[in-house]
Amino acid sequence: MKRILAALLVLIMLAAPVFSAPARAEAQEPITLTVFRGDPGDQPAEDNKIYQKIEDEFGVKFEFEFLAGDLDEKLGMMIAGEDYPDLFDGGNSADLIIQNGALINLLDYVSPEKTPRLWAHIEPQLARIIEKDEDGNDVMYIIPNYGLADGEQIVNQVNGPAFFLQKQVLEWGGYPEIHTLNEYFDLIERFLAENPTDENGTPYVGFDILCEDWRHFCLINPVQHLMGRPNDGEVLVDISTDDFYTETFIDKPYAKPYYQKLNEEFHKGLISRDTFVMNYDQYIAALSSGTVLGMFDQTWDFNNATFALQDANMYKNTYVALGLVYDPEYVDGKEIEEHYVNGSLPNLRRGFGISVNCKCPERIVAMWEEMMSDEWQLLFNWGVEGDDYYIEDGRLMMTEEQYANTLNNNWKLHNRAEAFTQSSPKKQGYIMDGPLAGNCWEVANQPEIVFGQMSEYDKEFLSHYGYQKFADFVNPPIELAPYGEAWQIDYTPVDIEHQDFLDIQDKELPELIMCDPAEFDARWDTFVKDITPSATAFGEYMWDAVKAEAAKVLGD
C-alpha cells in the first residue's frame, strides 16, 4: 500500500507544470549576460540542453569568461578599467571586487517579500552572510554558492583539504591504516622502491606540491591539519579558549617538523624540483597521467584530474583523502586527534555577485528566485527525467550508463550547466518536502549511488577496509566554531602585511625544502626572523577578527 501511495504522489508531482508562468521568455526581451568565473573552466557546448531550457524559459543567454593566468592581476585590470561583467565571481579574491565597489548590494533586491525562496535559503545563516559597510548599513554582495544545506550534514567524501594517496599504493601495501605523517611517507618510499615506474616505464613522482598563486595553500596549509584542526586558512585557532586565541602557525616551532620532513623526502628523490615552478595546468596534467602518488590539496581543486583518470578507467590511480596528523615524536609526545572535516558552513564570498555595470539586476534575481524551485534544482542536479535519471518507489535513481555520464567532462559540457550553476545559489543536502523528500539534491550524495554506482575497483577497494564510502577514512565532522572558518575573514585592513607574509612563504619555503639538510636549522631560523614582523601584524589582526566574528554569531 505504501508503495502504491508513493507512486501516486510521484505521478501527481510529474503531472504538475514543471515551470511557473511568470518567468516565461516570450514575456521578456532576450538578453545576453556577460559572466566572469574566477577559476579555469571550459566553454559549454552550443547545443547544451540545460542552457537551451534557460533561454526558452527566461530569454537569457550567457557569455562566459573563465580565468586564465593570475587571478589578482586579472581582477586588477578589470577594476582599473571598471570593465565588469554582469555576473561576477571573484574566486578567492572576491574581497578585491567588493572593496573596489564592483558589486551591488543584493539586499536591495532580496527580501522575504520579494524573493521568499532565496530568503528562506539564506535565513539560517544571516548572521554570517549579512555584513556592515563602512557607514554601518547592512550589505550582502554575494549569495554563497555552497554550504547552505537542508537537513543533517552529508559527508560521503572529503571535499576539502587532505593528504591524498593513490589507491594502488594502499592496495600494494596490503590496505593499511595510515594516520600519521611518517606512516604516509614511509609507505610511499616503500612503494617507489619496488615500483619506480608505471607499466609504460614512466617514473612515478612520490609527492607533488602546487605553489602557484593562491593555490599555494597546498604548500602552506598542511601544518594546521597536522595539528588536528580543520581549515582556518593561514592561522591556528584554539577553540578551547574563551577568546579563541589565534596565531599564525607557519612561524611556530610546530611547523618546523613538516618542512624538515619534506626536506628529507626531497633529498630522497620523492619530490621533484619541477613541483615548485609548475603552473596549475601542468600540475593537473601530471595528476591526470597517473604518475603522481601523493599530494596535499583540496578535492575540488583537482577534480579535472580525477575525471580524466576515471574516463581512462584508471581507478587505481585515483586518490583517497587521508586525515594525517603529526607523529607524537614531533609534538612532545602528544597524541593529536584528527579533525579535517568541519561542520557545514556557507561558502562566504564565493559565488556570483551582480556588478554595478549590470543593467538588469532585478531580472537576474528574479531568475535565481525561480531557479530555487524544486523543479529547476532537479534539472540542474539530476538532469532530464528519463534521459538522465529515473524515479523508482519515490527514489531518484540512475543506471550505470547515466551515472557514468555525470563523470564525463565532455558529456557535461553538453548536458549540464555547471559554468552557471557552480557559482549560483543552490539547494544542497536533502530534499525536505514533497513526494521526493528524503532524496539528496546532489547525485554524488544519493545513498543508492554512492556505493551502488561505484566502479567495481572502488567497491572492492572499500571492502578491504569494511567501508561504504570514502569519507570513512577520516573522522566525522566536528561542530563548526562560532566564527566559521577564519579563511573567510576579510584581510583587506592588513593587506600589505598579509601579502608580505605570503610572499616570504612562497619564496623561502621551497628553498627550505630544497636546501642542504645540514643547513636546514639555520635556514629555518632565518625564515622565522624574516616572517615574524608580518606574521605578528597579521596574526594579531586575525585574533581580533575571529573574536568579532564569533561575537556576531553568538550575539555577544
Task: Count CB atoms within 10 A of the CB of residue 197.
Answer: 11
When divided into structural domains, the chain yields a total of: 2
Grid coordinates of 554: 553568538
- Residue 191, domain extent: 161-340+458-554
The CA distance from 424 to 372, in Å, is 10
Does 6 map to a domain?
A: no
Residue 358 falls inside a structural domain: yes
Question: Are residues 335 and 472 both part of a single domain?
Answer: yes
Q: Is residue 101 part of a domain?
A: yes
Q: Is residue 4 situated within a structural domain?
A: no
If asked whether residues 145 and 62 sit together in one domain, one would say: yes
> Contact at 8 Å (CB) between 185 and 261?
yes
Name every residue whose Cβ is closer than 8 Å to that of residue 347 and which is 6 or more positions away in sequence: 144, 145, 146, 147
Residue 443 and residue 483 share a domain: no
d(C-alpha 190, C-alpha 174), whole Å? 12
Q: Is 156 part of a structural domain of the chain?
A: no
**What is the DSSP secondary-structure string of 170-209?**
HHHTTS----BHHHHHHHHHHHHHH-SB-TTSPBPBS-B-
Domain boundary among 450, 470, 504: 450
Give me 186's grid cell. 614511509
Check whether residue 85 and residue 204 sit in a common domain.
no
Question: Do 274 and 388 sit in the same domain of this protein?
Answer: no
Residue from 132, 67, 122 nearest 93 by CA: 67
- Whether residue 365 is found in the same domain as residue 328: no
Cα–chain center distance at 403: 22
Clarify whether residues 66 and 101 are in a common domain: yes
State whether 400 and 481 are in the same domain.
no
C-beta separation of 118 from 372 below 8 A: yes
For residue 130, what is the DSSP state?
-
pLDDT in tens, the chain (556 residues): 333 333 433 343 333 334 343 445 456 899 999 999 999 999 999 999 999 999 999 999 999 999 998 899 999 999 999 999 999 999 989 999 999 999 999 999 999 999 999 999 999 989 889 988 888 899 999 999 998 999 989 999 898 999 999 999 999 999 999 999 999 999 999 999 999 999 999 999 999 999 998 899 999 999 999 999 999 999 999 999 999 999 999 999 999 999 999 999 999 999 998 999 999 999 999 999 999 999 999 999 999 999 999 989 999 999 999 999 999 999 999 999 999 999 888 888 899 999 999 999 999 999 999 999 999 999 999 999 999 999 999 999 999 899 989 988 899 999 999 999 999 999 999 999 999 999 999 998 999 988 887 889 999 999 999 998 999 999 999 999 999 999 989 888 999 999 999 999 999 999 999 999 999 999 999 999 999 999 999 999 999 999 999 998 887 6
Last-in-domain residue among 385, 420, 450: 450
Q: Same structural domain for residues 409 and 312?
A: no
Classify residue 314: in a domain, yes or no.
yes
* Position 312 in a domain: yes
d(C-alpha 342, C-alpha 481), whole Å: 9
* Domain-ending residue, one of 389, 421, 450: 450
- Determine if the pTM surpasses 0.75: yes
Residues 131 and 171 reside in one and the same domain: no
Instruction: Work out whether strand 60-66 and strand 31-37 pair parallel, antiparallel, or are unpaired.
Output: parallel
Q: Give me the helix-helix angle, 303-311 and 280-288, nearest 10°.
A: 30
CATH code assigned at 128: 3.40.190.10
Are 220 and 313 part of one and the same domain? yes
Does residue 3 belong to any structural domain of this protein?
no
Same domain, 45 and 136: yes
